[in-house]
A = this chain, B = another copy of it.
Amino acid sequence: MVGLKVYADRMSQPSRAVILFCKLNRIEFEEIKVDLTKRQQLSPEYKEINPMVQVPAIVDGRFKLFESHAILIYLACVFPGVADHWYPADLTRRAKIHSVLDWHHSNLRRGAVTFMINTTLGAALGIPMNPQAAAEAEKLLSSSLSKIESFWLKGNGKFLLGSLQPSIADLSLVCEVMQLELLDEKEKIRILGPYKKVQQWIESTKNATMPYFEEVHAILFKVKENLQKQRSNEMKVPSLSKL
Contact = CB atoms under 8 A, between A and B. Distances in A.
Name the interface size band of chain A: 20 to 34
A97 to B, nearest CB: 8
Copy total for this chain: 2
A70 interface: yes
A78 interface: yes
Interface in A101-147: 101-103, 105-106, 109-110, 147
Interface string A77-112: 110000000000001101110110111011001100
B65 A78 contact: no
A91 B66 contact: no
A70 B106 contact: no
Given A67-B99, A69-B98, A77-B94, 8 more contacts: A67-B103, A70-B96, A70-B102, A73-B95, A73-B98, A78-B91, A101-B102, A106-B109
30 contacts: A51-B150, A51-B151, A52-B147, A63-B95, A65-B95, A65-B96, A65-B99, A66-B99, A66-B103, A67-B98, A67-B99, A67-B103, A69-B102, A70-B95, A70-B99, A70-B101, A70-B102, A71-B95, A73-B98, A74-B91, A74-B92, A74-B95, A77-B91, A77-B94, A78-B91, A101-B102, A105-B105, A105-B106, A106-B109, A106-B110
